[in-house]
Amino acid sequence: MEQTSIAVSKKSKKQWETFKNYPGESMETMINRILKVKSEEDANLLTAEDILEIKASIVEIEKGHFKTQAQMKEKYGL
């Protein structure tokens, strides 16, 4: 595997060490683990399309185009 190095301050390196799951975890493993978690979190964020759909729904609600829970229960006999 081809390797490279990066220059970081001693302060950053010390802080990064606190993110390790165990003392022998490599910096590469630790960084990749954190990046994976972050990318999974980002995948759960709203997309531009989601936001447009939410805005459209709000407009419909403001126009009164909705049914209450009581109306839905009555409609479906619940």
pLDDT band at 15 (very low <50, low <70, confident <90, very high): very high
Q: State the pLDDT at residue 66.
A: 87
pTM of the model: 0.54
Alpha-carbon gap, residue 60 to 68, rounded angstroms: 14
Instruction: Give the Cα separation of 34 and 44 in Å (integer).
Output: 16
- Give the start-to-end residue ranges of the domains of the chain: 9-45, 46-78
Closest CA to 19 of 6, 37, 5, 1: 37
With 90 as the cut, is the pLDDT of residue 12 above it? yes
At CA 54, angle to CA 48 and CA 55, rounded to 5? Answer: 90
Tell me, what's the pLDDT at 53? Answer: 94
> Tens digit of pLDDT for each residue in 16-72?
999 999 999 999 999 999 999 998 888 888 888 999 999 999 999 999 998 999 999
Dist. CA 19–CA 27, nearest whole Å: 9
Written as six digits, the tokens of 55 are 């805005």
Q: Is the pLDDT of residue 1 over 80?
A: no
